[in-house]
Structure 1
């Protein structure tokens, strides 16, 4: 009996377990149906776009010279503004030299002129007397020597030389007052009060303030965006408008100018051509801050206007110049585009799209040609410039 009881319990459990398994309910398993991916799009619309060109450079004066003394002498006067950074007007005296030696030279030249005049008058009188005597006593035509013609020619030549000597002495005297050749600014000063300077010695480095220039390097590809008739012989005098920008005085400042010329040749080392922008009156009151020489500036050159351009966010075009386009049946397609150029936050497309087409800007991780997608509601599109296609397709 003790042996049968455990066996009976095991049999009862086995029968119960079988009954449970045999009578369990069946599950109706349905395969899951994945929804198409939700994508954001922008509608392609052609428009007119001005293809400006960006560059950068350093401001330089158009005219800058080493200002030198034209005569020798001791410096006896200095203009208070004749210092590094000082401004001056055209014709303003900046340096004065001791003129006494030159005053004495003028006196000597005046004496020489008086002597030459006296000598000419004497020769004229002697020539007149000789002619009268010949007419009274001689026969035939008198020789030039008898009429004192060579003596008269010599006296007249010496008079001209004396006049030139006086003019030269006065010119040297005037050069003791060293006056500015133009309105400008002192870059560097090389002379001091009491110093003796020689003719041709450098007094200062000065530059004109009426015009500033900036050399702007551009690639040969960028030249296609610019109207540069001035590069031709006898072309236009003024080229495209330029806006220069720099941080100055605690704020972003702007100055306006024009491209006035290009340099003679493309740099064979870099492949760049330098355009020269000109800004007139860089120190004028029309600007909040002056355009200082030596200032680093960014430049935006006005380019040609082109119509029929599609503007897409930066992330809507991959490195292979392809975009994803959704057709009317909500099918996805890879489209090859013609990219005009890529900017900081947008891509300009010249061909490859039609007006009204939906271009994907985000939502597709692994794009497959012909796959079905859903479109996000309008107004939920990402902003231009955001990197929205994470796969880079």
Structure 2
């Protein structure tokens, strides 16, 4: 091939490459224009927001507080007499349920048997001395009567001796009662039915008067202590004592009801909260007994709050605000003045004087005040 032919071929290759480059540039330009148009069209379409139509009105507040079920009776049983522990009943082992009067431990009673016998002897001797003093007083009175004389004083009738003898009988009776009680207390019994939480003694152990034997909690008459903040307290209708409250389990099911026994008489010295005591716990089902130590939710029905909105709990943003849609489909936002929380609802004061609201149920972090949206009404079940 001649040199002129080769140069012609190179020019044709170069021109083809330039033409291909121009075609690629034109294609990229067309794609970019299409993307710009698509993006412009997307931006121009208002986002869809889910709203819940609500009306301003009077709503009853509720206060729900987590509380622990506690036994009404909880005591460390202590030995009233000292001595050697000769027996610990199997019912005194931790975790066992005992009935009122069941024996828990036995202390060796030889000493107390002897003290009882001695007290009985002293009581009989005191009774004999009192009878002798009374007989002597009657004889002296009879002698003065036969002689037709007036006794010069009470001593002549042996009345002081009689009073002392009667007082000695009373003292001997008290010592006898004490000896009998101490003998009975060598058998330590459950003062009420309940569960043994822990045992402190073992057979062969020496105990002194006042030493703990076992810790026993009652299994009946559960009590609940509730602590309320000042804001929660102000939501409740007063007086609170005597009102019925609902007891809710951790699954949201109502277990039963209780009655407010005492409310607001004092503040907790640590938390400075109002202390409310509940009693008369009545369960709706016998098989779903509330156990001591259970955590339950106590629901109080509060006072009626006027000019309020009951918005869904999901409508609250992380910073404590809520969104709504104005009449011209424009987003608006305001801090939520939360009055109370009602399960999956939140009771807030209406920020503006209007009757109807379209509250955004599921707000997004990308929302802006004044942004135009397309509201879609959520179906409330």
After superposition, the Cα gap between the structure-2 partners of 1:325 and 1:169, relative to the gap in structure 1 and judged at 3 Å, is same
- Deviation readout 1:304-351 (Å, 9 max, x if unpaired): 264764333456566584634342xx4536375864447585543432
Measured in 1, the distance between the counterparts of 2:374 and 2:145 equals 128
Measure the CA separation in 1 of the matches of 2:270 and 2:124: 67
Does the alignment pair 1:199 with 2:209?
Answer: yes
Task: For structure 2, list consecutive stretches of 5 or more residues without a partner in the other structure.
Answer: 1-36
**Structure 2 match to 1:81:** 91
Match of 2:160, SS?
A: helix
| 2:29 matched residue in structure 1 | none
Matching residue of 1:166: 176
**Which residue is equivalent to 1:223?**
233
Alignment of structure 1 residues 289-308 onto 2, 5 Å? 290-293=290-293, 295=294, 297-304=295-302, 306=304
Post-superposition offset of 1:268: 7.7
CA RMSD of aligned residues (A): 4.1
**Offset, 1:157:** 2.2
Alignment-derived partner of residue 310 in structure 1: 309
Return the offset for 1:82.
0.7
Q: CA deviation at 1:189?
A: 0.9
CA shift digits 1:268-304 (9 cap, x unpaired) = 875644444447389x9724354233x4x25242232
Map of 2:125 onto structure 1? 115
- Distance of 2:149 and 2:277 partners within structure 1: 80
Partner of 1:243: 247
Secondary structure (helix, strand or coil) at the match of 1:211 reads: coil
Assess, with a 3 A threshold, how the Cα gap between structure 1 residues 116 and 275 changes in structure 2: closer, same or farther: closer
Judging changes above 3 Å, is the alpha-carbon distance between structure 1 residues 80 and 268 closer, same or farther for their aligned structure 2 residues? closer
Aligned residue among 187, 190, 204 for 1:180: 190
Change (3 A) 1:74 1:383: same
After superposition, the C-alpha distances for 1:226-282 in whole angstroms (9 at most, x for unaligned) are 23523xxxxx3x3451424348xxx98956544443465556875644444447389
- Structure 1 residues 281 and 176: alpha-carbon distance in aligned structure 2, compared to 1, 3 A threshold: farther
| Structure 1 unaligned residues grouped into runs of 5+ | 1-30, 231-235, 385-393
**1:94 matched to which residue of 2?**
104
SS in structure 1 at match of 2:90: coil
8 Å contact kept, 2:62–2:340: no
Question: For residues 312 and 141 of structure 2, what CA distance do their matches in structure 1 show?
Answer: 104
**1:162–1:359: structure 2 CA closer, same or farther, 3 Å change rule?**
closer
Q: Write out per-residue CA displacement over residues 55-102 of structure 1, whole angstroms, 9 at most, x where no aligned residue.
A: 334443232222111122322333321111221122222222223322
> Is the CA contact (8 Å cut-off) linking 2:57 and 2:308 kept in structure 1?
yes
Matches within 5 A, 1:21-60: 37=46, 39-40=48-49, 41-46=51-56, 49-60=59-70
Say whether 1:66 aligns with 2:81.
no
Aligned-residue offset at 1:155: 2.2
Partner of 1:288: 288
Q: Write the deviation string for residues 106-144 of structure 1: whole angstroms up to 9, x where unpaired.
A: 222222222223223333333344444445557554443
TM-score normalised by structure 1 residue count: 0.68
Q: 1:357 to 1:227 in 2, by over 3 A?
A: closer
Deviation at 1:221, TM superposition (A): 1.7
Number of equivalenced pairs: 336
The structure carrying a bigger helix percent of its residues is 2
Relative to 1, partners in 2 of residues 1:105 and 1:325: Cα closer, same or farther, differing over 3 Å?
A: same
Q: How far apart in 1 are the matches of 2:262 and 2:270?
A: 21
Work out whether residues 200 and 212 of structure 2, in 8 Å CA contact, stay in contact via their aligned partners in 1: yes
Return 218-227 or 134-143, whichever deviates more: 134-143
Taking a change above 3 Å as real, the CA distance of residues 332 and 178 of structure 1, as seen in their structure-2 partners, is same
TM-score (norm 2): 0.70
Q: Contact 2:333–2:369 (CA<8 Å) still a contact in 1?
A: no
Of the structure 1 ranges 129-138 and 106-115, higher mean CA displacement relative to structure 2 is found in 129-138
